[in-house]
Amino acid sequence: MKLTVLGGGGVRVPAFIRGLISSGRATFDEICLFEPDELRRKTTGRLSVELAGALGRPGAVQLTADAEQAFASADFVFSTIRVGGDAARVVDEEVALRRGIVGQETTGPGGCAMALRTIPVLLGYCDILARCAPGAVLINFTNPVGVITQAISLRTSVRVVGVCDTPSSTLDRLAGFLGADRDQVSFSYGGLNHLGWITSFAVGGEERIGTLLDRYEELRRFDHAFAAFDPAQVRRLGAIPTEYVYYFYEPARYVAAVARAGASRGADVLRLNSELLAGIASAFDAGGVDDAWSAYSMLMGIRRDTYMRTDTDGDNAQAQARARRAAAGPVGPGGGRPSGYEGVALQVIDGLTARSPGEVIVNTRNGASLGFLDPDDVVEVPALVHGGGVSPLAIGQLPRSAIGLITQTKEYERELVEAAVTGDAGLAALALAVHPLVPGVTVAREMISEYRERHGPHLAYLR
């Protein structure tokens, strides 16, 4: 079985490779990393290749800049590209933030600009994939996952499953909070990517959502993922929002927090990633794979520790994270298992290959899962993933205000895909104006115009 990674020099890839091999879940005969950027091939790419060797599977990981070669005979493809790199993300966020609007990687104007840059590029790769490996399944992590998966699902013949670990990790945390065996948990979850709610959480057949809502203040202290929400609001809602809903529930607080912090998450990530690539490069110059891993894992740790801190607290908390990680000292490359969205992706692969069919929350064609959306829309819901494909579960009633937000956001997504596919700048602005976080069509036109100017060639196709 061959796995190809589109965006194989991405910063998360070395950790994934290490987890995959260390945990023995590497059922792939071949892992091919496709990476067109030379610096990435020489740093994170090389680190992935050498990690395989260090962990006893030399040759298992290959690195290439040739897409056709990468796709040939692939069974599964991970897509994790970032068109325009981290620098483009900073622009995405700034254009919105300086107008007092949520500027964030995937939600609102930032996600819109990112999708506009990405869709044409990814649809191009899908053409090659459909030709080189027509039976392959594309597992999409490329953000904004919902829109991108909708574009591929509606506009190409490629079989696609969009993956994000936000809902499953939220469920894991809730199980942890209650001390429940995750296997005994039955839940209801539904929405769009980064806009989903948990409406039921039963343990061994007994409904516990009431307990979770009653104890929400405790839950906020238990885990940062719940910290940003107003307990009374959550209780009134009767459902637990996943963390990205924060941008919809607290846009003004987010904008104020970033202003206080002085820089958006994107700006921090840009700096951390530059430091990361430089650190790996020097480590390889000076030593070997162990040094490179140590530099890598230090910076990835800092990145993880500071996740969403700026957005909710107005302070990126990086200094403390650096101190803590430095005190802990270097870590060797052994150990670990794939977690995060790569972990979810492996569950999808285990299901589709019929090795271990089961329930996974994925971004997939709606069918009849959420009755208020179209069958062809891509939604984020639990599905049975098995040898025959992906079958969404029936989702019961969501909170009514959630239905309102989802209805409007999905309409934004449909219009955005249409704009990207037709290359229509005017339609892109009208699409953005439909987004719940955008205060009107006039400002939407201004932002699209500024994005076109600042993203140059990436948005030149829009007319």
**Interface of this chain with its own copies, residues 198 to 217, rule: CB under 8 A:** 202-205
Q: Which residues inside 417-456 make contact with its own copies, applying CB under 8 A?
A: 426-427, 430, 433-434, 436, 439-443
Q: Tokens at residue 109, please?
A: 């104007």
∠ CA 340-93-280, rounded to 5°: 50
Q: Which residues inside 132-191 make contact with its own copies, applying CB under 8 A?
A: 159, 181, 183-187
- Is 313 one of the binding residues for its own copies (CB under 8 A)? no
CB of 430 to its own copies, least distance (A): 5
Cα 330 to Cα 22, 58, 281, 288, distances in angstroms: 18, 24, 17, 14
- Is 404 one of the binding residues for its own copies (CB under 8 A)? yes
**Pick from 357, 421, 423, 461: which binds its own copies (CB under 8 A)?**
357
Residues 6+ apart with CB under 8 A from 264: 90, 93, 94, 97, 103, 104, 258, 310
Nearer to its own copies, 303 or 309 (CB): 309
**Pick from 263, 331, 393, 421: which binds its own copies (CB under 8 A)?**
393
- HEC readout, 112-144: HHHHHHHHHHHHHHHHHHHHHCCCCEEEECCCC
Distance CA 159, CA 136 (A): 7
Sign of the four-CA dihedral 424, 426, 428, 431: negative
CB of 189 to its own copies, least distance (A): 11
Q: Residue 22 — φ and ψ, nearest 5°?
A: -60, -40
Q: How many CB atoms lie within 10 A of CB 51?
A: 28
- Is 274 one of the binding residues for its own copies (CB under 8 A)? no
**Pick from 259, 278, 384, 421: which binds its own copies (CB under 8 A)?**
384
Sign of the four-CA dihedral 140, 146, 152, 158: positive
**Pick from 85, 396, 453, 460: which binds its own copies (CB under 8 A)?**
396
- Is 109 one of the binding residues for its own copies (CB under 8 A)? no
Nearer to its own copies, 34 or 412 (CB): 412
CB of 350 to its own copies, least distance (A): 12
Q: Which residues inside 238-267 make contact with its own copies, applying CB under 8 A?
A: 249-255
Q: Which residues inside 180-199 make contact with its own copies, applying CB under 8 A?
A: 181, 183-187
Q: Is 23 exposed, middle or buried (0-12, 13-18, 19+ CB in 10 A)?
A: middle
Nearer to its own copies, 306 or 347 (CB): 347
Sign of the four-CA dihedral 352, 355, 359, 361: negative
Size of the site for its own copies (CB under 8 A): 71
CB of 412 to its own copies, least distance (A): 8
Nearer to its own copies, 208 or 303 (CB): 208
